[in-house]
Structure 1
Amino acid sequence: MKFLRYGPRGQEKPAVLDAEGQVRCLSAHVTDIDGSFLAQRDVIMAGIDLASLPHVAEPGRIAEPVARVGKFVCIGLNYRDHAIEAGMPIPSEPIVFMKATSAIIGPDDDVLLPPTSMKSDWEVELGVVIGKDCRYVSEADAMDHVAGLCVVNDLSEREYQLERGGQWDKGKGCDTFGPFGPWLVTLDEVADIDNLDMWLDVNGVRMQTGNTSTLIFNVPHIVHYLSQFMSLQAGDIISTGTPFGVGMGRKPPVYLAEGDVMTLGIAGLGAQRQQVRRWPG
């Protein structure tokens, strides 16, 4: 099943995408798609006939598919080729950092560069949404706690991240630096989580081409690993890392500028499009 949310900011409605690609409104049955809904999803959806749901011919803005995200946890340098292009050691354990939930926007919303940013960069990533609370979960049981997958653009301000001291978080959590969606795709609709093609273009030029088969740490291991250090709760998002092709790694480096357009996607999980503007927009 593909869940989504649509409508103006602050007025989003829950929906599903049917087999024909039509948006069907869930608002008569579900308040919103959030952690509370995800924890009870199977029970709630079992009593709903999707064919009877209202068809939304013109949904307008597509929002982030999960509301009120509790934690936005990210894994760094999780593709060998990206670690090499970044000039950093191949990690022996997952590198963990947090992205501010205030960075979250819809998949096609504008990205606003911070006023002083000169080194903002793109990163297409596989996102994992937690559907059932867990802590100290085994790798074998980890996927039982996953609600589904999504596309994430883990935007990064490289000067803030790498040249300003301290943790990476300050370059990762800028407002609008966390587009995700368009859908939350349940695991039964994903043919092979370990073989998903991913891509990102800037102004129509292919920058990133990758596949989840080359992840250093796969999704079950990541969920297991994170649960040793923090509880994972329904509605939390984990962004699992980006493959080769970020702007920082090019010779010479290429960074985002006002007017640029990013398009990105992952096989079976949908695509995003963001226009780049400069704060305050």
Structure 2
Amino acid sequence: MSTLADRAAVADGYRAGRTLPLRVELVRQLKRRRTLVMGAVLFALPIVLLVAFRIGGEPGAGNDRVNLMDTATASGANFAAVNLFASAGFLLVIPVALFCGDTVASEAGWSSLRYLLAAPVPRARLLWSKLVVGLTLSLAALVLLPVVALAVGTAAYGWGPLELPTGGTLPTGTAAQRLLIVVAYVFVSQLVTAALAFWLSTRTDAPLGAVGGAVFLTIIGSVLDEVTALGDWRDFLPAHWQYAWLDAVQPQMDWSRMIQGTALSVTYALVLFALAFRGFARKDVVS
């Protein structure tokens, strides 16, 4: 009788929304080696770039083009902006694909996914927890890089206004606001990669397949964007708008390209996230 009563009490107290709390999932992911390694890589990148400038001399020397890279040593704000410029096209794709693509597939690879669902954790709740934590870690990675770069750049080159490659400067307060806008836009533009990785993570038991597939498709999109023969069709490629944030480091900020890029990225991401939830709800989980 006591056993039946205990089971009834457990059933009465069960709340699907309380299973797999976000805090628990976040701690689990933070303790994983790949999270620590990726954090160390992003932390080290500004230092590596600083050493490269120390060894190789002033950026932009020996070329006739004027771009954001040429202003890297003007101030800490410039150094942070250059780090984003150098890494936004490829390097920042990797942590986003890793944190969102490894999350579900790794559980399947460890044969622990079925035990999580038997806890019982509802499938939608499991995916929601995994997705929120994956996106949170992705945002943290995108914030970590410019914050470290700003600190390293300020220590090396001093705190000052953001010098623009086209001439003129932005005051330090305005520069900080613009950098926040840049980070926010880079995160939104990476939502397509995150959604691709997450969808693939629900389709395969191999984490490397989900992460590598998302990175590969992102690179393919960037390659296609270089094919000028595609004309206006390139406007439908998320990669076509990945550097629209450069409009935020101009004397007069132009929102039009960033708005178009945001709308396209969010649309693709919502479709892929919906496919992930729909497919996982019907998937026969055996691992």
Fold shared per TM-score above 0.5: no
Higher helix proportion, which one? 2
Instruction: Give the structure-1-normalised TM-score.
Output: 0.28
Q: Which protein is bigger by CA-based radius of gyration?
A: 2
Larger strand percent: 1
Query: Given the two structures, how large is their TM-score scaled by the length of structure 2?
Result: 0.27
